[in-house]
Amino acid sequence: MNKASRLFCPALIIPKNAVVKQTEQLSVSQKLLTELGLVKSGSNGTYQIMPIAQRALDKCINLVQRNMQEAGGQKISLPVLTPTQLWKKTGRLDGDISEFYMVRDRSGKQFLMSPTHEEAITAMLATTAPISYRQLPLLLYQIGPKFRDELKSRFGLMRAKEFLMKDMYTFDVSKEKAELTYATVSEAYERFFRQLEVPFVKVEAATGIMGGSLSHEYHYISPVGEDTLLNCSSCGYAGNAEVFGEDATSTCPNCQSTQLNRVRGVEVAHTFLLGDKYSKPLGATYLNTSGKPETLVMGCYGIGITRIIAAALEVLSTEHELRWPTLLAPYDVCLIGPKQGSKEQVSGERIESDLLQQLTQVCGAEQLLHDDRKELTIGKRLMEAKRLGHPLTVVVGAKATQGEAPKLELHASGAETVELNITEVLERVASHVRHKQQLLQQIPSSETDVRVRQTVGHVY
C-alpha cells in the first residue's frame, strides 16, 4: 500500500508574504513539478527526479518498450562514452560539435558523452561476425541518458543538458526494405502517441547533422515550443519551418499555396532514414544471398522520454494543477479519510478501511495512494491531491457517516466534484481501469479520436 505519510516529496515552501524574483522564464510544467517536489534542480540544466515523478517516468518507459517490442525491437545497452575516432570516420566530428561533452581518459584518449549512438552501434555491427540477410531487418533499441551542452537549458525537463531517451537503430538489406521498416516503426510511434491522448502533430523535418534522405518529427503544440511548424490548409502538408527554406513565410513546398498556418511545437520524437551514411564509412555489412558482403542500410528513431513527461504536462495542465496522460499518472486513485479528532473519525475510518480493500481489488494496490496524514485537514490534503493531478480522488468526509445512504466525494481531475455511494465510486474506478486497458489495446474512444485530430494539419 502506498502511503502519503511515507512519500519523499520535498515540496518547495514559499512564505505567504515572500517576494519571489524570477531570473528565468518558467513553463507551467517546470513551475508545478518544482513547487510540488516532483523534480529538483541538480545544477544548471540537470534535474533530480523524485519518487512520484519517477513513477510516471517508469510508466512512460514501459509503454515505449511495449510499442518498440511490438514493432520487432530488441533491447540492448551501449556505453555512454563513444570514442571520438568513430565520429571522425563518419565526418561528424568536423561539424558543429559545440553542444557535445568531451572527456579524456588518463592515457589521453578522447571520448564523447554520447548525444546519440549511430557511430557506436554501427561500429559494433561492423566488428560482429558476418550478419546474414536472414537476420534482417534488425531493430535494436536502448533507453538511457544522453548529454548535450545546451546553450539555453530552460523549461525544466523540456530542454536539459542530461535527459533520458529511447533510441532505436535499424538495419536492412536495401533502401526499399528500410522504407518498410521505417513505416513499421512510424506506425508504432503513432500508436504510442495516440495512447498518451495528448494532441500531437507529425511533420516533415530537416535531416540536419544526422543526415539521411527522410525525416519526420513528432511535436506537441505549445507556446513554449522552440520549433515553428507550418501547415498548408490547401493540401494538408505539414513541416518544420526548417524544410521550407527561404519560402518559409510564403509558399507551401508541396503545392505552392500561400495558405500556411503557423504554430509553435515541442519536438518529442524524431525518425530518420539514414541510408549508408554511417554503415559505409564504418564498414558495417551483411552477407547477401550469394554470400557476398553488402553495406547495411540504416534508420534511427528517437523518443525523448523525460521531455515527453514535461511537454505532456505543459499541454494538459492548468496554472495551478497538474494534468497527467491517463497511462502516465503516478497513481490512479488517491483516498483521503477523516481528520484525526473529528466527530466522524471513528465511523468514517471503518468506511475508509473497507474502501481501501475494495479499491485495491479494483485498481490494484500499486495504483492506489492512501493519504493517511490524519493530522492534516481534509481540505489541505484534497488541495494537494488536486495539484498533484491524481485522476481520481475519493474523500471519506462528514457525509459518509450521515443517514442511511452515506455519500463519498469523488474528485476527477479536471471535472466537477460529485457525491456518490460506495458502489458508484467503485464503478467509476473500474471504468477508469477499463479505459486504461482500452488504451493499451489501442481502442481509443470516439471522443478522444475526434479531440486529438482537431489541432493542426497532420494531427493524430
Q: What is the CATH number of the domain that holds 354?
A: 3.40.50.800
Structure confidence by residue, pLDDT tens digits, 320-338: 999 999 999 999 999 999 9
192 found inside a domain: yes
Residues 351 and 270 in one domain: no
Q: Which domain holds residue 24?
A: 2-52
Residues 258 and 278 in one domain: yes
Residues 11 and 133 in one domain: no
432 found inside a domain: yes
Q: What share of the chain is helix, strand, coil (3-state, %, to 5)?
A: 35, 25, 35
Residue 450 in 3-state DSSP?
A: helix
452 found inside a domain: no
Residues 350 and 241 in one domain: no
Query: Is beta strand 101-104 parallel, antiparallel or unpaired with respect to 110-113?
Result: antiparallel
195 found inside a domain: yes
Cell numbers at residue 306, please? 523525460
Residues 359 and 293 in one domain: no
Whole-number Cα distances in Å, 49 to 53, 58, 163? 6, 11, 11
Residues 48 and 58 in one domain: no
Task: Look at residue 452 in the predicted model and tell me its pLDDT.
Answer: 35
Task: Look at residue 25 in the predicted model and tell me its pLDDT.
Answer: 64
Residues 346 and 219 in one domain: no
Task: Kindly state the helix (H) or strand (E) to which residue 142 belongs, with its residue range.
Answer: strand 138-147
d(CA 448, CA 460): 10
Neighbours of 137 (CB within 10 A): 18
322 found inside a domain: no
Q: What is the CATH number of the domain that holds 62?
A: 3.30.930.10
Low-confidence ranges of the chain (pLDDT < 50): 444-460
Residues 410 and 358 in one domain: yes
Task: Look at residue 444 in the predicted model and tell me its pLDDT.
Answer: 44
Structure confidence by residue, pLDDT tens digits, 355-374: 999 999 999 999 999 999 99
Task: Look at residue 18 in the predicted model and tell me its pLDDT.
Answer: 66
Residues 40 and 185 in one domain: no
78 found inside a domain: yes
364 found inside a domain: yes
Of 143, 12, 153, the residue nearest 74 (C-alpha): 143
d(CA 250, CA 231): 12
Task: Look at residue 258 in the predicted model and tell me its pLDDT.
Answer: 86
Residues 60 and 128 in one domain: yes
Q: Report residue 276: phi and psi, to 5°.
A: -110, 20
Give the chain's domain count: 3
Task: Look at residue 132 in the predicted model and tell me its pLDDT.
Answer: 95
Task: Kindly state the helix (H) or strand (E) to which residue 369 belongs, with its residue range.
Answer: strand 368-371
